[in-house]
Structure 1
Amino acid sequence: MPLSRRFFLAGVSAVSLAACRSGAADRMVTSSTRSSAGTTMRAVPNAGFDAWVAGAKERAKARGISSATINRAFRGVGFLPGVVERDRNQTEFVRSFEDYLAIAASDARIEIGRAMLQKHAALLRQLEAKYGVEKEVIAAVWGVESRYGERRGDVPVISALSTLAYDGRRGKFFEGQLMAALKILQRGDVSADRMTGSWAGAMGHTQFIPTSYLAYAVDFRGDGKRDIWSDDPTDALASTAAYLSRSGWKRGQRWGDEITGNSPSGRGRVVKPAGDSGPVFEVYHNYSVLGRYNNAQKYIIGVGHLSDRLAGRPALRASFGPDEHGLTLADRKALQRGLTRAGFDAGEADGVLGKKTFAAIEAFQRSRGLPVTGTPSKALLAML
């Protein structure tokens, strides 16, 4: 695959999933239309941006994009300050490996994924036979990227990419993505109004950036369009399988295994995503292939472990130990379930504490006449 996707997704992997929950009910950033400050993705007047767009149109023409395509693509395009804010504040969304894994392979994500394996069994068997990528791996990428299509993103891609290219922090990269998006429109795979995605221009069920789409997307339905935006996930899942296949996926081989100690079997190498506390993995060739899709370590292990759980393999054996509040992952899940049972919605009981859980704690404390701290504790868990 082009290096651009690795560069891009390594930069935003922390927000593609790790910011998707805030205890954890905030939406995935790859599909959210709200910035971290709550600003909606609404275009605002910007004369400098308008001038930049005029120049970009000329550069697009020089690259062979037709005037008709350009006019359709830029009709209604606008500067999105929320996109710039997202791009400049990614670090605030960084989750620990424990939290990331708890989200990526949450009980709900496993349950939904198994249902999707059944619902799309015939398609996934076809993809596995054609591309040599296990159905659970395809489904796991789908689950991590968009929660099985539930959160594909509704930000206008042309506006988002134009905003990021104009902003200039990674202007050359995003202008390249913009030009690729225009080529997609010119080919007729999707209309400009349907070309929506994340704040950073990742699109569809499995969040392809435009250059990766041009390189790897396939028309598996045979209708003449490579439609990764449709409610029907066929082309998106096929495109993901094609991507992994062409990146060197070896069917029947593991991505990695949890091990005890620091000595690999000789077939792979050891990685310690949580340092000396938490699980240790021996990883193999397919680990690197998943890294072609997104080379962030958390992402690779998140997809790999979710694929294992979808295939019926057990949860990880190693424990991460208690957090700064003295609570283990099991404790935090129990706390969230207890709050929700008491009538204070803490979101999905995945053990990842964030805004919704903290708000539920505060509401519970207020209702009981307790000091309103929003702080989880063993004592609070015992009360619940």
Structure 2
Amino acid sequence: MFRTLLSLSLVSLVSFATPAEQQKPSFADYTAALKQEALSKGYAPELIEPVFASLTYHERIVKADQTQPEVVETLSTYLPKRVSETRISMARERYQAYLPQLNDIAEKYGVQGRFIVALWGLESSFGRIMGNESVPSALVTLAYDGRRESFFKQEFYHALDILAQGHISLEQMKGSWAGAMGQSQFMPSSFIAYAEDGDGDGKKDIWTNQADVFASIANYLKQQGWDNSKTWGREVILPAGFDATNAIARGSLKRSEWLERWALSERSLADWNALGVTRLNKTALPQRDISAALVLPDGEGGRAFLAYDNYKVLMHWNRSYYFVTSVGYLADLIIAPE
């Protein structure tokens, strides 16, 4: 009787445990099907063969995606780590070393060089830390994992496009575990949309060519509406009893929804002055015809920032108040805005 019940129990477990895990193909079968799909899309066999021969499943990439550390931070703990004295010093040195190129880029794209260097420094530590994963393998590993299959498959096809266009070799196409590439840490889709040939050699090389790196960062910002007549924003002091509903409401949102909340908060500097908002030295805000939204990265009671339109552009790059604030802070420490 016991053995009969045990057998029935095992049968029940098998019959009820047949979702995704039991139906999921092997990585080899998955990549074989993906290869046929790529060929059906018109990718050349001479491109496809070496790429698919190189694909390797990396469990560590899946674990990195699923177990990203949840660190309790405030802006005051985050900024000193991201904008350290060492990074400030390196940013200033590199800004001066590349000043002629940065000035050319600024004139062509309308983006101040200090913001290009700040993004370069924060994304890849000035090209020193770009990741050493094979980008095609990382993307297919994450597609196979299945949680965001459509997104990573599309990124993989963009990576194939980049290889087909001859901008980088398969062996050199390295990046982070999530597929972000080069000194600017562009995903393949961002590369397709924004990468630039900064020196006219016919290639867009964000891995080793500094002219291409700078031009690509600048083009991204330009295409998203950067205004080089303005800075990013400024830290401010709010008066006692300030109504925090004047700030952008917090919460994880789609960009379109976040922009709607920005519009609700946006006011002229004169209006913010009238509400008692001041500079850090407690003097009145500048008398300039600029609109700004109020950002409270840590919520009510935390540090406060008036954010200009360029802040919105940086939030398109990375929708994180902490990241964008670190870019602005570092840019201001490279060379103070006028």
Give per-residue Cα distances to partners, 1:138-194, cap 9 Å, x unaligned: 011101101111101111101100000000011100000000001100111000010
Matched, 1:168 2:146: yes
Matched, 1:210 2:234: no
Segments of 5+ residues of structure 1 without an aligned counterpart are: 1-45, 314-384
TM-score of the two chains, using structure 1 as the length reference: 0.67
Give per-residue Cα distances to partners, 1:286-315, cap 9 Å, x unaligned: 1001111111211111111111111136xx
The equivalent of 2:233 in structure 1 is 256
> Any conservation in 1 of the 2:136–2:156 contact (CA below 8 Å)?
yes
Give per-residue Cα distances to partners, 1:188-228, cap 9 Å, x unaligned: 10000100000000000010000110111111111111001
Matches of 2:68 and 2:101, distance apart in 1: 36
The equivalent of 2:128 in structure 1 is 150
**Equivalent pairs, count:** 267
The equivalent of 1:25 in structure 2 is none
The equivalent of 1:235 in structure 2 is 212
Matched, 1:191 2:169: yes
Matched, 1:309 2:333: yes
Matches of 1:88 and 1:66, distance apart in 2: 34
CA shift, 1:93, in A, is: 4.9
Matches of 1:73 and 1:221, distance apart in 2: 28
> Any conservation in 2 of the 1:247–1:289 contact (CA below 8 Å)?
yes
Give the match's secondary structure for 1:259. Answer: strand
One-letter identity of the residue aligned with 1:241: A
1:289 pairs, out of 293, 296, 313, with 313
Q: 1:83 to 1:130 in 2, by over 3 A?
A: same
> Any conservation in 1 of the 2:198–2:214 contact (CA below 8 Å)?
no
Matches of 1:186 and 1:93, distance apart in 2: 40
Matches of 1:195 and 1:175, distance apart in 2: 17
Question: Which range moved further: 290-299 or 144-153?
Answer: 290-299
Q: 1:71 to 1:96 in 2, by over 3 A?
A: farther
CA shift, 1:101, in A, is: 1.4
The equivalent of 1:340 in structure 2 is none
Give the match's secondary structure for 1:75. Answer: helix
Q: 1:278 to 1:268 in 2, by over 3 A?
A: same
Matches within 5 A, 1:107-146: 107-146=85-124
CA shift, 1:127, in A, is: 0.6
> Any conservation in 2 of the 1:133–1:245 contact (CA below 8 Å)?
yes
Matches of 1:224 and 1:85, distance apart in 2: 38
> Any conservation in 2 of the 1:287–1:300 contact (CA below 8 Å)?
yes
Q: Which of 1 and 2 has greater Rg?
A: 2
> Any conservation in 1 of the 2:116–2:218 contact (CA below 8 Å)?
yes
Matches of 2:325 and 2:307, distance apart in 1: 9
The equivalent of 2:322 in structure 1 is 298
Give per-residue Cα distances to partners, 1:254-294, cap 9 Å, x unaligned: 21111110587242111111224442101111100111111
> Any conservation in 2 of the 1:73–1:185 contact (CA below 8 Å)?
no
- Identity among equivalent positions (%) equals 38
CA shift, 1:100, in A, is: 2.2
Give the match's secondary structure for 1:193. Answer: coil
RMSD: 1.7
Give per-residue Cα distances to partners, 1:312-364, cap 9 Å, x unaligned: 36xxxxxxxxxxxxxxxxxxxxxxxxxxxxxxxxxxxxxxxxxxxxxxxxxxx
> Any conservation in 1 of the 2:136–2:159 contact (CA below 8 Å)?
yes
The equivalent of 1:81 in structure 2 is 59
The equivalent of 1:346 in structure 2 is none
One-letter identity of the residue aligned with 1:228: I
The equivalent of 1:219 in structure 2 is 197
TM-score of the two chains, using structure 2 as the length reference: 0.76
Matches of 2:45 and 2:54, distance apart in 1: 16
The equivalent of 2:299 in structure 1 is 275
> Any conservation in 2 of the 1:149–1:233 contact (CA below 8 Å)?
no
CA shift, 1:91, in A, is: 4.1
Matches of 1:170 and 1:227, distance apart in 2: 27
Matches of 1:303 and 1:162, distance apart in 2: 31
Q: 1:94 to 1:48 in 2, by over 3 A?
A: farther
Matched, 1:181 2:205: no
The equivalent of 1:68 in structure 2 is 46
One-letter identity of the residue aligned with 2:212: D
Which protein has greater RCO, CA pairs closer than 8 Å, 6+ apart? 1
Segments of 5+ residues of structure 2 without an aligned counterpart are: 1-23, 247-266, 272-290
Q: 1:93 to 1:67 in 2, by over 3 A?
A: farther
Give per-residue Cα distances to partners, 1:86-115, cap 9 Å, x unaligned: 100124356432232112211111100000
Q: 1:79 to 1:256 in 2, by over 3 A?
A: same
Matches of 1:195 and 1:222, distance apart in 2: 20
